[in-house]
Structure 1
Amino acid sequence: MSQLTSSVLGYPRIGENREWKKALESFWKGDLEEAAFLETLQAIRLNNLQLQQDKGISLIPVNDFTLYDQMLDTSTMFGIVPARFEYAGGPVPVNTYYAIARGTQQAQASEMTKWFNTNYHYIVPELKDAKPALTENRPLAAYREAKQKLGIEGKPVIIGLYTFLKLSKGYEAKELPELAEKFIPLYGQVLRELEQEGVQWVQIDEPILVTTLSEEELQLVHSIYTQLREAAPGLNILLQTYFDAVDHYEAVAALPVQAIGLDFVHGLEQNVSSLEQYGFPQDKLLGAGVVDGRNIWRSDYKQKLELIEKIALIVPKERIIVQSSSSLLHVPVTAKHETALPAELRETLAFAEEKLEEVVWLSTAAANADSANEASLAQELKLNGERIYNLSASPARNRKAADAAAIAAHPSVRQKPFAERQKLHQEKWQLPFLPTTTIGSFPQTTDVRSARQKWRKNELSSESYASFINEKIKKWIEIQEELNIDVLVHGEFERTDMVEFFGEKLDGFAFTRNGWVQSYGSRCVKPPVIYGDVVFIEPMTVTESVYAQSLTSRPVKGMLTGPITILNWSFPRNDITREQVAYQIALALSEEVKALEAAGIEMIQVDEPALREGLPLKRSDWDAYLKWGVHAFKLSTSDVRDTTQIHTHMCYCEFHDIIDSILALDADVISIETSRSHGELIHSFEEHTYDQGIGLGVYDIHSPRVPAVDEMVRNIERALRVLDPGIFWINPDCGLKTRGEAETVAALRNMMEATYQVRKQLGAPVAVQ
């Protein structure tokens, strides 16, 4: 049977059973020697490639695998190592590579932030005073390995120069053309060496092209690719975009490359419209991203084939590459282990391995739609359609949940403005100047994970497990009191994950057994699957919060995850809008907020670390998203007394971009994860006024290092130059779940000492007993 060219843009690196994660953590602990570690990773990498070959993928990506992060790979490939890591040139040693990502006791890690609007994090390159030089040709090494070990003629994947520069830091916008000129010869050398090796296709990822660009920026992009074309004139370049549609379609289509990749899932309507309006260059191939690389639902084959046929009216099939809409990094590895799920749900799932099959099936079916295989094609379409129908008809999808009337009737505005609430809170809580707190979680040590696993396997009774959790809560309440922290937390020892925990207790969610995806470094998460209407069943957090509060006279915060974060960190259903799902979650959480308040928990933190990451990539779409995102948060938090204090928390937030929306949340206190980009955030407060309670994380919890007191003092002092000390809180920049006990206590002790020093400098009582 004939087949259109098939491809994917990248494959999950974590391994079917998270072998990649386990190898990384063993290496970091010193339990695995570097040579054995690298051999383990090579085995995972080759297995991924062999699987794609066995499934029938035509163009198999190589160099999509990484030791930690592909942006960090690109930085170190060009010798971009911050001076504090004492790099002497040449290939970057593995330990230096990881030091950039994780920090050392002497050097702070590089900033980490979200990859566009996904839940994957990358290490931000630091280009200040950069003197780039090619240290090693990673794409070439990956190509050679695949060819020599498996006989695969791979498609090297490279992060495009313009995307790399735009996502870096340490330079001003006016310096961008000059920076590009420093890197162009190096990118050209990489491509020239690939051409000399006999590489046929290289995939250059430029997702930045789906954002809003100026005419000057487009001219620079054209200049970059003109020079790269000259550097390797015989190499076929697939310029790949994803995550949205290309606004500047004509300019992108005119770039001197051999193929253009477009996202026909998340940029479907606009990209199709551009093809119909402007056509497609006759000298180029089209990478048609028709299989969703970011969600886990099986493709509707009938719709996808119709889409390919529609595209084929403009671009002949022989010039179409059927592929995933983005890298499959963003979905779990395989659905074959999910035997515990209901059949009607299980049959509608397509993880990375199943998406390979979808890509190949669609490329084959599209090429043979008019052949003698029409009967088998019709049968597969029928079976596939039945699977999708069975899920859509499931009772779980159609329970009574929030409708427009319920949303309209629900309070979404606090009764009194913040200034009046603040006075009530001061009178009620009598907190000291510069109050201290933590973000929510404390270390989930081996014994915590072991007890949970035993409980889930029915090897530990629910009573014994609850007793174990209470012991942990009591221990850490005592530690917090000993440290003299002002507002305490119960530690979240009963929670596996800040989204999964709530999903397990709300109706409309399902949970996979092995549906892990990489979030950052070795950190993997298992996103819930929202497949039905979200409905509150019973209180979810009251028991642990009330127990913790019974142990202390200090306030204990109730801890919830907000509706937008639950939405963005799940795999949501795709038969209704994301906005509708968010409102369902919000009203369910509102029930929990009221239950906490009724139980005497009157400081309640509703975390929204993923609010900004869900921003559409085009600024023209921001307002609509932020409007319903803010509304969902306020639906969750507004039906409380004025004396109840609402906190929230955000991660890696480019604050200045959405400051109006953050103010619109009307939270009494917001804590922001800023330690790796403290200076940039402080600068935004020099340009914008923020007058509600705020805590800027004074130290980085993603690194095992214990920051010195002086370092935290400097962070506090810098913040107080632009913020009113009367609204400022002091806290770590995120939860402490992943840290060890000793380092956590040491870091918090230093945080408290830093607080005392600043209080003394400002003439306030140093400590309140």
Structure 2
Amino acid sequence: MNALLPTALVGSLPKPSWLSEPEKLWSPWKLSGDELAEGRLDALALAADEQRRAGLDIISDGEQTRQHFVTTFIEHLSGVDFDRRETVRIRNRYDASVPTVVGAVSREHPVFAEDAARLRALTSQPIKWALPGPMTMIDTLYDDHYRSREQLAWEFATILNQEAKELEAAGVDIIQFDEPAFNVFFDELKDWGVAALERATEGLRCETAVHICYGYGIKANTDWKATLGAEWRQYEESFPLLQRSTLDIVSLESHNSRVPVEVVELLRGKKVMLGAIDVASSDIESPEDVAATLRSALPYVDADKLIPSTNCGMAPLSRAVARDKMVALVQGAQLLRDELSAGSPGA
């Protein structure tokens, strides 16, 4: 692995067309039963291989074994009824039909540990695994049991901590928690959001990351972004809290966003996973584009703490576009690496 500017994906990659409908977010599976179980692991191996061939330093599963980044985890928990659905407002942006919490939530068995062990067996490179964060989990459900967002979040944090410890035991080097809700619910973020996330990471020896983005390139998200004005400063709410937290890495959206790059300064001392690939567009960034995005952050984060990455997951894109974007990320990071070794970034 490159010691300087190690590259990684934030999350998802497109699934093969034989597994689910391509270029569609949260598409239903085309297989079932044993064929589905085998097909998901085959897709995981393909995703790992595509990342290796693109030259990425840190390998992930591309979320090939899950249909949705939140509900696939929740499906394995007791206390949640997926047949009893209610319509809720997701992150104050769009309505969705979601399952209902009907009793005490608990995890009877590991959810992703076997999949993570399979990924670990496929590569000697560092591997990263993503889990939903507590606040984003509660925002994807209707709660008819606890009737307290905070109490349910703490219950999920305990469950996530159990899962994370088993992922660590399976050989995962970085465990990432996805918390797009941190960009929306600022009062809860301050009152208990970061504390619940720290509970989810308690006792872990591997590196921990939190990913906060502005969402996939779906219409509900792009419409919301259009209301945010000339500069997106939501990170100013979470970054000071995360800078003081026990989390090791903070992942943010940068390229083609309206996030002022100087907000990265608020994370000084933490590792920063900087999004240098736009996942809301099929246009392929040039290596120079990637290098420029990364270079712009260097006044605010030490180079040895910068991890070039994508803005978010790439599930809705075509596999060819995702592959080309991965290559661009790797090549752009190498351009900046070469500049830094020559002692002249931006020259």
Task: Sort the TM-score into its range (normalised by shorter chain).
Answer: 0.7 to 0.9
Q: How many residues align?
A: 318
Larger radius of gyration: 1
Distance across 2 between alignment mates of 1:567 and 1:594: 21
Match 2:8 to one of 433, 437, 440: 437
Match of residue 707 from structure 1: 285
Q: Confirm or deny: 8 A CA contact 1:630 1:664 kept in the other structure.
A: no
CA 1:756 to 1:591, structure 2 compared with 1: closer, same or farther past 3 Å?
A: same
1:625 CA drift (Å)? 4.5
Q: Which amino acid is 2:323 matched to?
A: V
Aligned to 2:323, the other structure's residue is in SS state helix
Match 2:304 to one of 698, 721, 726: 726
Q: Does 1:447 align with 2:27?
A: no
The share of aligned pairs that are identical, in percent, is: 25
Q: Which amino acid is 1:681 matched to?
A: P
| CA distances 1:17-65 after superposition (whole Å, capped 9, x unpaired) | xxxxxxxxxxxxxxxxxxxxxxxxxxxxxxxxxxxxxxxxxxxxxxxxx
User: Which has a greater percent of strand?
Assistant: 2
Residues 189-204 of structure 1: pairs in structure 2 closer than 5 A: none
Structure 2 runs not aligned, ≥5 long = 22-26, 215-232
Distance across 2 between alignment mates of 1:436 and 1:651: 18
Match 2:115 to one of 536, 544, 549: 544
CA 1:689 to 1:468, structure 2 compared with 1: closer, same or farther past 3 Å?
A: closer
1:487 CA drift (Å)? 0.4
Q: Confirm or deny: 8 A CA contact 1:439 1:649 kept in the other structure.
A: yes
Q: Does 1:683 align with 2:262?
A: yes
Q: Does 1:665 align with 2:227?
A: no
Match of residue 651 from structure 1: 213
1:514 CA drift (Å)? 7.8
CA 1:742 to 1:454, structure 2 compared with 1: closer, same or farther past 3 Å?
A: closer
Aligned to 2:314, the other structure's residue is in SS state coil
Aligned to 1:486, the other structure's residue is in SS state coil
Match of residue 633 from structure 1: 197
Q: Confirm or deny: 8 A CA contact 2:84 2:100 kept in the other structure.
A: no
| CA distances 1:160-185 after superposition (whole Å, capped 9, x unpaired) | xxxxxxxxxxxxxxxxxxxxxxxxxx
Q: Confirm or deny: 8 A CA contact 1:696 1:731 kept in the other structure.
A: yes
Match of residue 461 from structure 1: 33
Q: Structure 2 length normalisation: TM-score?
A: 0.84
Match of residue 529 from structure 1: 100
Distance across 1 between alignment mates of 2:59 and 2:150: 33
1:586 CA drift (Å)? 0.6
Distance across 2 between alignment mates of 1:661 and 1:728: 19
Match 1:572 to one of 116, 136, 143: 143
Residues 67-106 of structure 1: pairs in structure 2 closer than 5 A: none
CA 1:689 to 1:669, structure 2 compared with 1: closer, same or farther past 3 Å?
A: closer
Q: Which amino acid is 2:108 matched to?
A: I
Q: Confirm or deny: 8 A CA contact 2:182 2:238 kept in the other structure.
A: no
Match of residue 157 from structure 2: 586
Q: Does 1:693 align with 2:265?
A: no
1:543 CA drift (Å)? 1.2
Q: Confirm or deny: 8 A CA contact 2:254 2:311 kept in the other structure.
A: yes
Distance across 1 between alignment mates of 2:311 and 2:7: 12
Distance across 1 between alignment mates of 2:257 and 2:28: 35
User: Which has a greater percent of helix?
Assistant: 1
Residues 201-220 of structure 1: pairs in structure 2 closer than 5 A: none
1:499 CA drift (Å)? 1.2
Aligned to 2:272, the other structure's residue is in SS state strand
1:558 CA drift (Å)? 2.1
Distance across 2 between alignment mates of 1:604 and 1:735: 16
Q: Structure 1 length normalisation: TM-score?
A: 0.39
Match of residue 184 from structure 2: 613
**RCO higher in structure (CA 8 A, sep ≥6):** 2
Match of residue 5 from structure 1: none
CA 1:742 to 1:610, structure 2 compared with 1: closer, same or farther past 3 Å?
A: same
Q: Does 1:557 align with 2:135?
A: no
Distance across 2 between alignment mates of 1:437 and 1:764: 24
Distance across 1 between alignment mates of 2:304 and 2:281: 30
Q: Confirm or deny: 8 A CA contact 1:701 1:733 kept in the other structure.
A: yes
1:537 CA drift (Å)? 1.1
Q: Does 1:760 align with 2:322?
A: no
1:751 CA drift (Å)? 1.1
CA 1:736 to 1:512, structure 2 compared with 1: closer, same or farther past 3 Å?
A: farther
